[in-house]
Amino acid sequence: MKSYMTQRLNEYRDGNEDKGRLLVSCPDQPGIVSAVSAFLFEHGANIIESNQYTTDPEGGRFFLRIEFDCEGIREKKETLQDAFASVAETFDMTWSLTLASELKRVAIFVSKELHCLHELIWEWQTGNLMAEIAVVISNHEEARELVERLNIPFHYMKANKDIRAEVEKKQLELLEQYEIDTIVLARYMQILTPDFVSAHPNRIINIHHSFLPAFIGANPYKRAYERGVKLIGATSHYVTNDLDEGPIIEQDIERVDHRDNTEALKNIGRTIERSVLARAVKWHLEDRVIVHENKTIVFN
């Protein structure tokens, strides 16, 4: 399976070898789009997709995502970054320039429940998640057979609050070893320490099994049942040091009623969790998400 996926990923790289992505955030003012477009034109680039948003045309914050083709961009990337720095300085931009062919290396953290892991692997195999799934890390053994059957490295690392700092030190070493730049918590039922979170700002994606901000923390389905909710949902967000309060990337809901007990809510919720997490990860991998304060702008 790994050789098949290696071939698929290489085909994607080759098919997108000239594609670049530019993300911009800056104070809104006239001339931003013109300046960026002129820059790309001057460097032989052709815009193939452009999305923009402003919080307020008068003194608000402006956000821009552009996909463009530029022949030989792999060799030109550093030159383009150096040249764009002067444009960025003029408009006080926070920005990033990435290549579609430079696939992100992903680590998936999982515990006992494997439905989100299954969904991510399925989407990866079908070509909807273009990334290198470099490693799966778990505090349980349930996922080993699935993961190793795909020739993806699997690491079992016991984790609980009593040994959290020690375990996270080993996990961080593994992440460095595998050159990871995106971490997905696919129902990894452990709270991360501030040191771990700060090492990967806006690069840890979690799925929480409730429609946040409702039912933060543990046992949301049980609490939802006790409250008699008529809707349940799931939320994918970037991880911060505030539990389940990071910038929200994606959410969805499903209607329920008085006949649905806690177990029924869990079963309904698992379907929502799978799709919500997969969409959030896809948008992150495609550089469609800009974080501003504790919110996201998602150009999907």
Average pLDDT estimate for 261-283:
98
258 neighbors 229 (Cβ within 8 angstroms):
no
Over range 199-219, report the average pLDDT: 97
Burial class (CB in 10 A: 0-12, 13-18, 19+), 249: buried
* Crossing angle for the helix pair 262-285 and 220-227, to the nearest 10 degrees: 130
For residue 1, pLDDT over 80 is answered with no
Is it the case that residue 280 has pLDDT exceeding 90? yes
Cα Rg of the chain (Å, integer): 21
What per-residue string of b and e applies to 34-64 under the rule 16 or more CB within 10 Å gives b?
Answer: ebbeebbeebebeeeeeebebeeeeeebbbb
Q: Which sequence positions are flagged as catalytic?
A: 244
Q: 3: pLDDT confidence band, cut at 50, 70 and 90?
A: confident
**Do 107 and 62 meet the contact criterion of CB atoms below 8 Å apart?**
no
Write the pLDDT tens digit of every residue in 118-163. Answer: 999 999 999 999 999 999 999 999 999 999 999 999 999 999 888 9
Which structural domains are found in the chain, ordered by start? 17-99 (3.30.70.260), 105-298 (3.40.50.170)
For strands 61-69 and 46-54, give the pairing: antiparallel
Tens of pLDDT along 15-65?
999 999 999 999 999 999 999 999 999 999 999 999 999 999 999 999 999
Using the predicted structure, report yes or no on whether residue 270 has a pLDDT greater than 70.
Answer: yes
Phi, psi torsion values for 29, nearest 5 degrees: -165, 160
pTM listed for this prediction: 0.96
Q: How confident is the model at residue 102 (pLDDT cuts 50, 70, 90)?
A: very high
Kindly list the distances between the CA atom of residue 111 and the CA atoms of 27, 138, 142, 219, 259, in Å, as whole numbers in the listed order: 42, 5, 8, 15, 29
Q: Per-residue pLDDT averaged across 248-254, rounded? A: 99
pLDDT at residue 160 in the model: 87
- Which residues have a Cβ under 8 Å from the Cβ of 48 and sit 6 or more positions away? 19, 67, 68, 69
